[in-house]
A and B are shown apart, each in its own frame.
Chain A
Amino acid sequence: MKKFFTKKLSIISFIFIPIIFLWHPNWLGFLGVQPYWPLFWLLPWSMINGSFNGLIFGLFLGLILDALTLDTNFTQIPGLIFCGFLFGRIKLHSNILIGHFRYGLFCSFGSFLCGSLYFLQILFKNSSDSISLMFIPGVKNILAEVFLTGFFAPFICSQLLRIFKFSRRIKH
Chain B
Amino acid sequence: MLGNRRISTNRWWHKKKNWILVLIFLFLVFVRISKGSFYKNFYYFISKPFWPGQFQKEIVLESIDQEYLIKLNLLKKDNLRLRRILSLQESSNNENISAAVISRKTGSWWRQLILNKGGRDGVEIGNIVIGPGGLLGRINDTSLFTSSVTLITSPESKLAVWVDRSQINGLLVGLGDDHPSLILYSKDADIKVGDFVSSSPASTLLPPNIPIGIVQSIDETLRSKKTARILLLAQPQVIDWVQILKVSIE
Contact = CB atoms under 8 A, between A and B. Distances in A.
Contacts of A23: 103
A145 B108 contact: yes
Interface string B173-190: 101111001010000000
B141 interface: yes
Nearest to B227: A133
A96 to B, nearest CB: 31
Interface stretch (A48-56, A66-74, A97-105, A155-163): A66-74
A140 interface: yes
A34 to B, nearest CB: 6
A25 B166 CA distance: 41
Contacts of B104: 24, 26
Interface stretch (A6-14, A38-46, A82-90, A124-132): A124-132
Contact of A71 (B109, B171, B237): B109
A31 interface: yes
A22 B155 contact: no
Contact of A70 (B148, B158, B178, B222): B148
A61 B140 CA distance: 22
A132 B206 CA distance: 27
A33 B108 contact: yes
Contacts of B169: none
Given A22-B114, A130-B175, A130-B183, A71 B156 contact: yes
A137 B175 contact: yes
Interface string A95-128: 0000000000000000000010011001000100
B105 interface: yes
Interface residues of B, number: 29
A141 interface: yes
B61 to A, nearest CB: 32
Contacts of A69: 105, 110, 112
B169 to A, nearest CB: 15
Nearest to B178: A32
Contacts of B141: 70
A11 to B, nearest CB: 23
A130 B181 contact: yes
Nearest to B222: A132
Contacts of A122: 109, 155, 176
B148 A74 contact: no
Given A130-B175, A138-B176, A140-B177, A71 B103 contact: no
Interface residues of A, number: 31
B109 A32 contact: no
A92 interface: no
A33 B222 contact: no
Given A70-B148, A132-B222, A33 B173 contact: no
B150 interface: yes
Contacts of A34: 105, 107-108
A134 B107 contact: no
A35 to B, nearest CB: 10
A22 to B, nearest CB: 5
Contact of B237 (A26, A119, A132, A141): A26
Contact of B156 (A70, A129, A138): A70
What 7 pairs across the A-B complex have the smallest Cβ distances?
A32-B107, A137-B177, A33-B107, A22-B103, A69-B110, A33-B108, A70-B140
Interface of B: 103-110, 112, 114, 140-141, 148, 150, 154-156, 158, 171, 173, 175-178, 181, 183, 222, 227, 237
15 contacts: A32-B106, A32-B237, A34-B105, A69-B105, A70-B110, A70-B112, A70-B156, A71-B155, A71-B156, A73-B156, A74-B109, A115-B109, A129-B173, A129-B183, A134-B155
Interface of A: 22-24, 26, 29, 31-34, 69-74, 115, 118-119, 122, 126, 129-130, 132-134, 137-138, 140-141, 144-145
